[in-house]
Structure 1
Amino acid sequence: MTDPRRLIPRTDTVLADPRFSQALLRLGHDRVKAVVNEAQRLAREGTIAPGEVAEAALASLPADGPRRVLNATGVILHTNLGRARLSRAAVEAVATAAGNTDIELDLATGRRGRRGRAAMAALAAAVPAAQAVHVVNNNAAALVLAATALAAGREIIISRGELVEIGDGFRLPELLTSTGARLREVGTTNRTTADDYAAAIGPDTGFVLKVHPSNYRIEGFTRTPGVGELAALCARQDVPLVADAGSGLLRPEPLLPDEPDAATWLARGADLVTASGDKLLGGPQCGLLLGRADLVERLRRHPLARALRVDKLTLAALEATLGTTGTPTSAALHADPAGLRLRAETLADRLTRAGVAAQAVASAATVGGGGAPGVTLPSAAVAVDVTLAEPLRLAEPPVLARVERGRCLLDLRAVAAEDDEDLYNAVVTACK
């Protein structure tokens, strides 16, 4: 009897299959060969039939990079989806920056120039209240750099009500103490006064840290001094006030009156403000440092700044974001509820005529991304059968919806109008 293992196709025979041509170009010969060898091993063990080697290998090939996903959750800045969508201008800037650029070259003189000077100039122009600016790879990095440069071996004074967890199990206290700084907690969870800070400030104080609770709210019997009050106290004690604004607003946003912005906090006396670039600013992931020239320069020249610097793609996207008149984040935030309702009704009507049970319903969207906790934005959604949630995630493009009260809701607040056709096709396909 012939050993069935003799029927297992040779590696070069499988790799010659035209179905592997794109994978070989995309992944390279060695990676594809390793996948084929694993399928052959399964065939030798009898887990799959010899004739199934090619199909098993094809099914096991790594997927193509990041996939475009339609965000129909109603969460504008969805962390699991990469937070802010870049503007068209930012995307084009990234494409240009993918080649050789003048990131550290002064073309006029032919000599080395300051890295990312155009992006820094755009950021400085966007926040005139800042004497100087710097950019690192995220807001946590901005705080780490500040703690390392200003408070290593010293104390950071912070309210107990601001010892936040920033996501994925990372906690601000652990982040700060990893730099060699010590935390001096003051006040209580719900109430901290300026006197609490004043009593703690001493010769060992590196700086006072004010953290905006961007991903939670404490209500009821609460009190905490504002930035202006703390800034006056710190000025009298000659201690820097570092303020973490978090969610990335550079200027006041009328729709989010309780969300702090860098310009206002600097005007009220904060010495250094940190914020995220990929949240309400609507740009790439990065951490913004804005404030006193001497402090920013001290951070910029610290050895750790080299490890935390951003790449040319981020700088290009940030510059373009700051120079554009609008971003997808801003468009979603300011979307007209009546317009959203009309889109939902149109989409629901088309789906109904295609044989899909669909209904336009009122919805409530949120900012997300650790910003504006408790704030809801009136929106509109298309309600379809709850069983469609999974096939929609597996559609092309994938659609992430919100399951609520036994329905699958396709909230349109974070879906661009030009994507409605793709959303329609994904739902129709998911029903087949």
Structure 2
Amino acid sequence: MVDADPRRNIPRTDHLLNLPEVVAAGERLSQATIRSIISETQTAARTGEITVAEVAPTVIRHLSSRSASSLTPVLNATGIIVHTNLGRAPLSESARRAVADATGYVDVEMDLETGRRSKRGAGAKQALLRACPEAEDALVVNNGAAALLLVVTALRGGRGASAVADDATDDDRTNSDNSVAADEIIVSRGELIEIGAGFRLPDLMMTTGARLREVGTTNRTHLDDYAQAIGTETASLLKVHTSNFRVEGFTASVEVAQLRGLADEHDLPLIADLGSGLFEPDPSLPDEPDIASALAAGADVVIVSGDKLLGGPQAGLILGRSDAVQRIAKHPLARAMRTDKLTLAAIEATIANTENPVQDALHIDVDQLRERSERVAGLVSGTVVAHDGRVGGGGAPGVPLPGWAVELPEELARPLRLGDPAVVARVHQGRCLIDLRCVPEADDDRIGEAVNRARGNHA
């Protein structure tokens, strides 16, 4: 009896490997990658997702379209500027060129004049200090969470005491010189935040062996709450910008300037974790804290992210008093958290040059945005509607950025995401909304073509 199961006719791996197109792909893709694509395609045929006849063409198509990375470039048409799921801040052209230049050998830790080893990241540091004269020193690490972890660790054990094990008893919390080990961080209960993917700042800080001393209530914290909590085990005072939420109504909080006097009185470091990364106040975001103001108000150390409103790559920036920053830089953990040459190059270029896609999108001309939206709507038979953009990435929560969007049927959202170029729109209340705030104007026609292609494929 003849077995008519077509799956027995699935092309063998050696046959597929010898196809001219597959051999040619081997000049740019590893054999492991090629074999993986072949195996996945054969499996798709066995499960009935594709026919046996489609195996070879599918392998060739996947190999020909395979880029160096699995990451797919997208056009961000959501209206959210710092979109975490889309990689947060897009780099400026200057930063991209700087990264490209840094991919080879560069003088990241060498003084070319003397031929001797130099300080790592000196260019990025100088760019930060020029942009923020209020800072005496600066340090770049690999992200904002790392910066906070490093700072609270390095600034523990003030008053000459060293850090102690988290499981030590009260009787054990002393050093050999009988001084008390300072390992307690005082922070307002309303500032113990959780951000995306269930990441909680309290959990992060407690991994250092520090203990959190929560003061005040969720909605109201006063200076006296901090004062009453300070004791012999206090290591630092911490002020955290709540970033991705706002507490409104019957509220009270203590500002950095108020905490400075208390920190001076007890000889404690004052740490401000601002998150979003503004160098100075921005009138369009009146409640968003900035580095210059926090340092002027008396923070010893300020922590921000590089890939939010700053508009750079993922990084944690630490700015502040030279004695505090140097103490942080010399801590053993600083080595584990240091950033690479590509990030240092991108940070320096972002700060030193005026072009900045994040700031451009934040301060876009609304009338011009409407004109662009109307033009694209004409290309795709859509309707222009009022639409508020957002900062995103934990910046300026609840603050609308008035603008416009092209309204389309909801069912176009998926084929747009899967198209070429991939267009990520906002799906809201049964509509697909194309917001051009974060789309370079030069890509407007590509958006129109992508929509018409998606509509044709969906028909």
> How many angstroms apart in 2 are the aligned matches of 1:48 and 1:398?
23
Kept after mapping to 1: 8 A contact 2:94/2:355: no
Whether 2:332 is the aligned partner of 1:303: answer yes
Equivalent position of 1:110 in the other structure: 115
Counterpart amino acid of 1:33? R
Kept after mapping to 2: 8 A contact 1:401/1:409: yes
Whether 2:318 is the aligned partner of 1:294: answer no
Runs of 5+ in structure 1 lacking a partner? Answer: 353-357
Whether 2:450 is the aligned partner of 1:426: answer yes
* TM-score calculated relative to the size of structure 2: 0.88
Equivalent position of 1:24 in the other structure: 26
Give the one of 63, 72, 97 matched to 1:92. Answer: 97
Question: Considering only aligned residues, what root-mean-square deviation do their CA atoms show, in Å?
Answer: 2.1
Equivalent position of 2:77 in the other structure: 72
Whether 2:140 is the aligned partner of 1:135: answer yes
Aligned length: 427
For 1:301-340, list aligned pairs within 5 A: 301-340=330-369
> How many angstroms apart in 2 are the aligned matches of 1:54 and 1:236?
75
Counterpart amino acid of 2:423? V
Whether 2:308 is the aligned partner of 1:270: answer no
Single out whichever of 52-61 and 373-382 deviates more from structure 2. Answer: 52-61
Whether 2:405 is the aligned partner of 1:381: answer yes
Q: C-alpha displacement at 1:40, in angstroms?
A: 5.1
Distance 1:2 1:371, change over 3 A: same
Equivalent position of 1:355 in the other structure: none
Distance 1:119 1:368, change over 3 A: same
% same residue: 56
> How many angstroms apart in 1 are the aligned matches of 2:102 and 2:126?
17
Q: C-alpha displacement at 1:32, in angstroms?
A: 1.6
Q: Deviations over 1:70-119 (max 9, x none)?
A: 11111111110011110000000000001111111101111111111111
Kept after mapping to 2: 8 A contact 1:379/1:412: no
Q: Deviations over 1:288-340 (max 9, x none)?
A: 00011111111111111111111110000000000111300010001011010
Give the one of 278, 281, 284 matched to 1:252. Answer: 281
> How many angstroms apart in 1 are the aligned matches of 2:10 and 2:403?
57
Q: C-alpha displacement at 1:5, in angstroms?
A: 7.6
Q: Which has the higher strand share?
A: 1
Give the one of 414, 435, 441 matched to 1:390. Answer: 414
Give the one of 361, 364, 370 matched to 2:394. Answer: 370
Equivalent position of 1:176 in the other structure: 205
Distance 1:40 1:81, change over 3 A: closer
Question: Secondary structure of the residue that 1:203 maps to in structure 2?
Answer: coil
* TM-score calculated relative to the size of structure 1: 0.94
> How many angstroms apart in 1 are the aligned matches of 2:83 and 2:48?
44
Give the one of 125, 129, 137 matched to 2:130. Answer: 125
> How many angstroms apart in 2 are the aligned matches of 1:47 and 1:261?
53
> How many angstroms apart in 1 are the aligned matches of 2:237 and 2:24?
56
> How many angstroms apart in 2 are the aligned matches of 1:373 and 1:171?
18
Question: Secondary structure of the residue that 1:129 maps to in structure 2?
Answer: coil
Equivalent position of 2:38 in the other structure: 36
Whether 2:187 is the aligned partner of 1:158: answer yes
Runs of 5+ in structure 2 lacking a partner? Answer: 157-162, 165-182
Single out whichever of 97-106 and 150-159 deviates more from structure 2. Answer: 150-159
Question: Secondary structure of the residue that 1:278 maps to in structure 2?
Answer: coil
Distance 1:281 1:36, change over 3 A: same
> How many angstroms apart in 1 are the aligned matches of 2:359 and 2:22?
42
Kept after mapping to 2: 8 A contact 1:217/1:374: yes
> How many angstroms apart in 1 are the aligned matches of 2:302 and 2:253?
18
Distance 1:344 1:179, change over 3 A: same
> How many angstroms apart in 2 are the aligned matches of 1:369 and 1:309?
23
